[in-house]
């Protein structure tokens, strides 16, 4: 199964599972993410997840238009 918010309480880690394409949006991803938000701010957490996905080559950042 997947870790629940209750199970993540008191943990510093962020748990991610079910990473898959989101067909409702171009280049979209859908994923289950859970953490103790009192220990880790949600905005910082989202940035760190995106950076990790780029680092692992799972996604590529959009190129800026010239």
CA angle 2, 4, 5 (to 5 degrees): 150
* Any domain includes 43: yes
DSSP state string for 1-53: ----HHHHTT-S--EEEEEEEETTSTTEEEEEEE--TTTS-HHHHHHHHHHHH
Give how many domains the chain has, as a whole number: 1
* Any domain includes 35: yes
Range of the domain at 12: 5-55
Query: Which pLDDT score, from 0 to 100, does residue 56 have?
Result: 94
* Any domain includes 25: yes
* Any domain includes 26: yes
Q: pLDDT per residue over 1-27, tens digit each? A: 789 999 999 888 889 989 999 999 888
* Any domain includes 22: yes
Q: pLDDT per residue over 22-41, tens digit each? A: 999 888 999 999 988 888 77
* Any domain includes 17: yes
* Any domain includes 64: no
pTM score > 0.75 for this model? no
């Amino acid at each position: 199964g997947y870790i629940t918010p209750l199970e993540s309480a008191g943990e510093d880690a962020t748990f991610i599972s079910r990473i898959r394409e989101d067909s409702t949006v171009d280049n979209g991803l859908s994923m289950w993410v859970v953490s103790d938000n009192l220990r880790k701010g949600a905005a910082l957490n989202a940035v760190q997840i995106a950076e990790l996905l780029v680092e692992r080559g799972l996604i590529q950042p959009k190129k800026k238009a010239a």
